[in-house]
Amino acid sequence: MNSYQISDLVRLTGINAHTLRIWERRYKIIEPHRTSTNIRFYDDEQVVKLLKISTLLNQGMKISKISELSEKQLNSRVNELEKIAPEDVVCSALINNLTASMLTFDEPAFEKVFSSAILRFGLYEAMIKVFYPFLKQTGLMWTYNEAMPVQEHFATAIIRRKLIVAIDGLPETTKKGKKFLLFLASDEWHETSLLLSDYIIRSSGFKTVYLSQNVPLQNLKEVIANTKPTHLLTLYIARQNMEKIHAEMYDVAMAHKNCEVLIGGTAAILKSVKKAKNITLLNSPVDLINLLNH
């Protein structure tokens, strides 16, 4: 059984800690476990239940009504949302369902939600509206821990597999004017968002050169000379020595002033990026999409 602190529940469900404690007392929504020192913690089943409750709250249902539902009724209400709810509620429900499937290592359920998102929005829109927010939500949760839990490995492995197949199925790129070199710097292994960036760029018709994970920055010079990209794109997800990597990326930008250097990552990390005229920060895929459209 995995255990979660109340801060983990807040990040996963969007329900604040004070509200959760009130619900525990007033509605008996969940009964937290206690350590020997009387500290609250929660298990997978309780987190999954709160994700379902969060989904119904986003639809506008009152907690007093939700608390009266049996487990079967709760599941039924959540499953009905895809047919009747507006788009933002559907997206929230899909993200919560992906998270619940991830926490319980339920691959068939994860695949079912994945397929539902694609059927509803198409692969490209699903990536932007569902899968990226899901990755961001879970990524923000795990950022606070030193080690990436196995649940995230499980989920990202499935999404990586889907993205690779989707990229392979794209037609040959035809647009001129922009060429992107994509890479993750040394000791950076969180490749899923880089694959999503590759998919977005190729879907827009532009050529990419994809170097994948753990690329020593000193090796970029030769690759840039051979491929002549107009843009370099990298992401910071779980960097340990950010001061060193910022300095190295600044040097890369200065050495290749004809290239626009695109840097994405967590908001906290992007705040500390060493700025240069040809460095652009990407806060979300929307920033990348806007750049591709101009």
Do 266 and 193 fall within a single domain?
Answer: yes
Tell me, rounded to whole angstroms, the distance of Cα 239 from its chain centroid: 16
Domain final residue pick, 165, 186, 208:
165
Q: Is 55 part of a structural domain of the chain?
A: yes
Residue 76 lies in a domain: yes
Count of domains observed in the chain? 2
Shared domain check, 283 and 184:
yes
- Considering the domain architecture, whether residues 56 and 113 belong to the same structural domain is answered as yes
Same domain, 88 and 201: no
User: Would residue 229 count as lying in a domain?
Assistant: yes
Are both 130 and 15 inside the same structural domain?
yes
* Whether 127 and 206 share a structural domain: no
Tokens encoding 126: 């699903």
Answer with the one of 165, 183, 212 that is the final residue of a domain. 165
Count of helices and strands (H, E) across the chain: 15, 7
Neighbour count for residue 255 (Cβ, 10 Å): 11
Report the pLDDT value the prediction gives residue 147, as an integer from 0 to 100.
40
Cβ distance 208 to 163 under 8 Å?
A: no
What is the structure's pLDDT at 262?
95
pLDDT attached to residue 239: 56
Residues 269, 210, single domain; the answer is: yes
Domain that holds residue 255: 172-292
pLDDT at residue 169 in the model: 93
Domain match, 180 and 135 both: no
Closest C-alpha to 124, from 182, 208, 172, 196: 196
Q: Are residues 210 and 135 in the same domain?
A: no
Question: From the centroid of its chain, how far is CA 242?
Answer: 21
160, 242: one domain: no
Asked if residue 156 is part of any domain, the answer here is yes
Q: Which among 117, 144, 165 is the end of a domain?
A: 165
Residue 206 shares a structural domain with residue 137 = no
CATH number of the domain within which 233 lies: 3.40.50.280
SS3 state at 206: coil
Residue 1 covered by a domain: no
Tell me if 138 sits within 8 A of 129, measured CB to CB: no
185-203 burial, b at 16+ Cβ within 10 Å, e below that, comes to: bbebebbbbbbbbbbbbbb
Q: Does residue 32 contact residue 42 with C-beta atoms inside 8 Å?
A: yes
DSSP H or E segment with residue 185: none
- Whether residue 31 lies inside any domain: the answer is yes
Report the pLDDT value the prediction gives residue 194, as an integer from 0 to 100. 92
pTM: predicted TM-score of the whole model, two decimal places: 0.81
Q: What is the pLDDT along the chain (294 residues), one digit of tens a residue?
A: 578 888 888 878 888 899 999 998 999 888 889 888 988 888 888 988 999 999 898 888 999 999 999 989 998 888 887 677 788 888 989 999 998 899 889 999 999 999 999 999 998 899 889 998 888 777 655 454 444 478 888 888 999 999 999 999 999 888 888 999 999 988 788 888 899 999 999 999 999 999 998 888 878 888 999 999 999 999 887 656 777 777 888 888 898 999 999 998 877 778 888 888 999 999 888 899 999 988
For residue 169, what are the contacts with CB-CB under 8 A and spacing of at least 6? none
CB proximity list for 214: less than 8 A, separation 6 or greater: 184, 185, 186, 187, 188, 189
pLDDT of residue 238: 61
What pLDDT does 210 receive?
Answer: 97
> Are residues 161 and 180 both part of a single domain?
no
